[in-house]
Amino acid sequence: MGNWVVNHWFSALVIAAWLGLNVFLFVMFFLTFDRDEKYYYTRQLLGSALAWARASAKCLNFNSLLILLPICRNLLSFLRGTCSCCRRTMRKQLDHNLTFHKLVAYMIILHSAIHVIAHLCNFEWYNDAQQATDKSLASVLSQLHLNDGLWLNPIHSNTTTPLYVAFTTIPGLTGVIITLVLILMVTSSVKLIRRSYFEVFWYTHHLFVIYFVGLVIHGIAGVVRGQTTESLKEHKPKDCAPHYMEWDRESSRHSCKEPEFGSIPAESWKWVLAPLILYVFERVLRFWRSCQKVVVTKVVKHPSKVLELQMNMKGFRMEVGQYVFLNCPSVSRWEWHPFTLTSAPEENFFSVHIRAAGDWTESLIDTFEQQKPKIPRIKVDGPFGTASEDVFQYEAAMLVGAGIGVTPFASVLKSIWYKLQHADQNLKTKKIYFYWICRETGSFGWFKDLLASLEQEMELSAKAGLLSYHLFLTGWSGSMVGHAALHVDTATDMVTGLRQKTSFGRPIWSNEFSMVAAAHPKSVVGVFLCGPGPLAKSLQKCCHQHSSLDPRKIQFYFNKENF
């Protein structure tokens, strides 16, 4: 448990605060509508369903306020790179923006379900009260002020059905639309759909615009009502309710004026106005930036169907490990896809490596291959910060890339090469361990030249021990291993041609962490991954096992790329 705290204490604090605020808002407004004298007569019609509906509505507003903030990428990049109070612990929290976005979405789904069920009950009971002929309090309340706008029961006819109300009133129709939009967005966001049919996820997720429009106008009709403040001064429900058959009778000893009712003001717009303005500003900024001219200076086709694009754009500034969104209008006018930058900040261009991993990427690669010498137009949005941006904030770092997941670390390694050339004395990092895991030998060709240059530069540099890299091949045959064994004494590796020999199989991470812990007994080590979920779980487990709560001993901080 103690080792877990090293990596997750701040995340746990944020989640606890968020859950606590949800519970506080729900309980506070539940008690308000369940006990407040203003809603005494409303409760006579609806019972506890009133409190359930209104409490869940407040939590919906609160989470709708939060849902857009984690995807304001410029805001997150600003906090990561500019805000002085954004230290290592908080910067790690920024890497979980999409996880928090999903958690908030789940909370919206939960409270939407509560809200919908409660209001289905409410309209059923409104209808029952309207049709009642037993002269009960609910029946009398349903007949009050039908012609002067001060009514309590929104159903004024005995022939009205809840289904009719759902599709002919503003709250009913917007509620149906919001619910359908949520269902579509949630179902298209599941991993299977998102990975296999990204376009479906991409377009369906933009229905959030309809969600927010519906949310803002959902409550403006004021269907659910309470007693007005002026009416409460002359009509105390607890005193007057028992004598409801004698209201407004002058001869009655307990005469009370008929209660008057007013709408509960719509408040959703107050909750979501600020984040909506911030998000609109975000989209305008990103649109303006994406309209800047991009010049593709070089196109390189690598093994295993990987395309490298080197580009220039006026005003473009980057840090190591950042990413951009790319759009190619000739492939798809609206689709934007994230790619990690593989260039270094010291270079006079920026580059990405694109592997064929779906319809869009395959079409993009085919488009560049078929339209020579004419180069297709590319639009760029970014750059945006990621976890890898913090590599040089640690005394020691372990970089783990799986397949094309090596791209953020290519940027880091290139930056190291430039720092070695210029003998950068301000480099805080004393040691970097780089692990690259590939299924096929051709993948190593993507950055083999870079690693060869680093090998040569480190030999000439005073910081020859700065980088230690390890290559692992998981897709191998017995004959390949036998051939490697015969050439074990050669100066270069038979797979890559590098001096560092390729290992067959996967790393034994426990041994690797033990080795790093022994080499850096009193250091803070950053562990960075760009790769699949199962590998992330293995690395995270090792971070927990080998970290100590004692700040005088080694601590491993896990960081994973999330787009």
> Do residues 217 and 309 share a domain?
no
Here the tokens at position 7 are: 């990596």
Here the tokens at position 495 are: 């797979």
Examine the fold and report which residue of 283, 301, 319 is the final residue of a domain before the chain moves on.
Answer: 283
pLDDT value, residue 252: 55
**C-beta separation of 121 from 100 below 8 A:** no
Residue 450 in any domain: the answer is no
> Do residues 327 and 470 share a domain?
no
What is the average per-residue pLDDT within 503-521?
A: 87
| Residue scoring higher pLDDT (86 or 103) | 103
Residue 482 in any domain: the answer is no
Share of the chain above pLDDT 70, in %: 86
pLDDT value, residue 22: 97
Model confidence, pTM: 0.82
pLDDT exceeds cutoff 90 at 183: yes
Peptide bond preceding 329: is omega within 30 degrees of 0, i.e. cis? no
> Do residues 102 and 217 share a domain?
yes
DSSP characters over 45-76: HHTTHHHHHHHHHHHHHHHHHHTTGGG-HHHH
pLDDT value, residue 253: 59
Here the tokens at position 187 are: 């179902």
pLDDT value, residue 439: 79
pLDDT tens per residue, range 273-316: 999 999 999 999 999 988 899 999 988 888 778 888 999 998 89
pLDDT value, residue 524: 86
pLDDT value, residue 2: 47
Strand pairing class (431-438; 467-473): parallel
pLDDT tens per residue, range 127-167: 888 888 888 898 888 888 877 888 888 888 877 776 777 77
**C-beta separation of 155 from 165 below 8 A:** yes
> Do residues 56 and 94 share a domain?
yes
> Do residues 337 and 367 share a domain?
yes
> Do residues 202 and 336 share a domain?
no
pLDDT tens per residue, range 185-239: 999 988 888 877 877 888 899 999 999 999 999 988 888 899 999 989 888 888 8
> Do residues 278 and 336 share a domain?
no
Lowest mean pLDDT among 55-69, 289-303, 376-390, 421-435: 421-435
Alpha-carbon distance 518 to 533, whole Å?
A: 27
Lowest mean pLDDT among 221-235, 348-362, 389-403, 478-492: 478-492
Alpha-carbon distance 383 to 325, whole Å?
A: 8
Residue count (the chain):
563
Q: How confident is the model at residue 84 (pLDDT cuts 50, 70, 90)?
A: very low
Alpha-carbon distance 133 to 189, whole Å?
A: 49
Here the tokens at position 523 are: 């250091």
pLDDT value, residue 193: 85
Examine the fold and report which residue of 250, 283, 316 is the final residue of a domain before the chain moves on.
Answer: 283
> Do residues 31 and 131 share a domain?
yes
**C-beta separation of 276 from 260 below 8 A:** no
> Do residues 276 and 296 share a domain?
no
- What is the overall mean pLDDT for the chain? 83
pLDDT value, residue 75: 85
Peptide bond preceding 532: is omega within 30 degrees of 0, i.e. cis? no
DSSP characters over 77-144: HHHHHT-TT--HHHHHHHTTHHHHHHHHHHHHHHHHHHHHHHHHHHHHHHHHHHH--S--HHHHHHHT
> Do residues 107 and 8 share a domain?
yes
> Do residues 375 and 340 share a domain?
yes
Residue 545 in any domain: the answer is no
Strand pairing class (323-327; 337-340): antiparallel
* Owning domain of residue 321: 292-384
Residue 448 in any domain: the answer is no
pLDDT exceeds cutoff 70 at 90: no
**C-beta separation of 394 from 524 below 8 A:** yes
> Do residues 204 and 309 share a domain?
no
How many domains, the chain?
3
Lowest mean pLDDT among 62-71, 450-459, 540-549: 450-459
Q: Which residue has the tokens 């038979």?
A: 494
What is the average per-residue pLDDT within 404-413?
A: 82
Residue 494 in any domain: the answer is no
pLDDT value, residue 95: 77
pLDDT tens per residue, range 325-345: 999 998 888 888 889 898 888
What is the average per-residue pLDDT within 67-90?
A: 74
pLDDT exceeds cutoff 60 at 49: yes
Domain CATH code at residue 436: 3.40.50.80
What is the average per-residue pLDDT within 79-87?
A: 59
Q: Which residue has the tokens 């030998």?
A: 441
Alpha-carbon distance 431 to 118, whole Å?
A: 59
Domain CATH code at residue 349: 2.40.30.10
Examine the fold and report which residue of 228, 251, 283 is the final residue of a domain before the chain moves on.
Answer: 283
Residue 74 in any domain: the answer is yes
Share of the chain above pLDDT 90, in %: 27
Residue 459 in any domain: the answer is no
Residue 144 in any domain: the answer is yes
